[in-house]
């Protein structure tokens, strides 16, 4: 089951991750993840972040509940920040390394935003992104 709305940044720039982190989770994103996890029964242990082939720009972020941390994909990165655990699918790592996961609410939208230094383009609606393939 997908979690909330997921897109790219909306005119804000949280601090970039330090020390080559795969993914940095902002306090706002952690707070929203906590709320979502507490609403599910039984309560999942983590959120799984992956990248799917979707949208007019080619790739889209996808968040799923991970009921048990032991069910994470082999070689997945596990990030625990601000009291939440986020698992990064190993197939998504090269697309999102160095990204910041944030959460924003406004009168017209709410959802998770990814500030991704690897993005080279984004569709007009912000739902999908492009990453240039390195030779």
Answer whether 61's CB lies under 8 Å from 51's CB.
Answer: yes
pLDDT band at 17 (very low <50, low <70, confident <90, very high): very low
What domains can you pick out in the chain, each with its CATH number? 6-12+22-119 (2.60.300.12)
Q: What's the whole-number mean pLDDT along residues 64-92?
A: 95
DSSP codes, 21-76: -SEEE-HHHHHHHHHHHHHSSSPPSEEEEEEEE-STTSEEEEEEEES-GGGSPTT-
Given a cut of 60, whether residue 1 has pLDDT beyond it is no
């Amino acid at each position: 089951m997908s979690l909330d709305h997921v897109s790219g940044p909306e005119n804000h720039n949280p601090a970039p991750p330090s020390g080559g982190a795969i993914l940095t989770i902002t306090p706002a994103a952690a707070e929203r993840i906590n709320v979502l996890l507490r609403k599910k029964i039984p309560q999942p242990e983590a959120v799984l972040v992956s990248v799917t082939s979707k949208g007019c720009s080619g790739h889209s972020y996808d968040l799923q509940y991970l009921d048990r941390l032991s069910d994470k994909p082999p070689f997945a990165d596990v990030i625990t920040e601000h009291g939440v655990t986020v698992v990064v699918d190993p197939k998504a790592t090269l697309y999102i390394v160095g990204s910041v996961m944030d959460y924003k609410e406004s009168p017209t939208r709410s959802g998770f935003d990814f500030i991704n230094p690897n993005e080279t383009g984004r569709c007009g609606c912000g739902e999908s992104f492009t990453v240039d393939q390195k030779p």
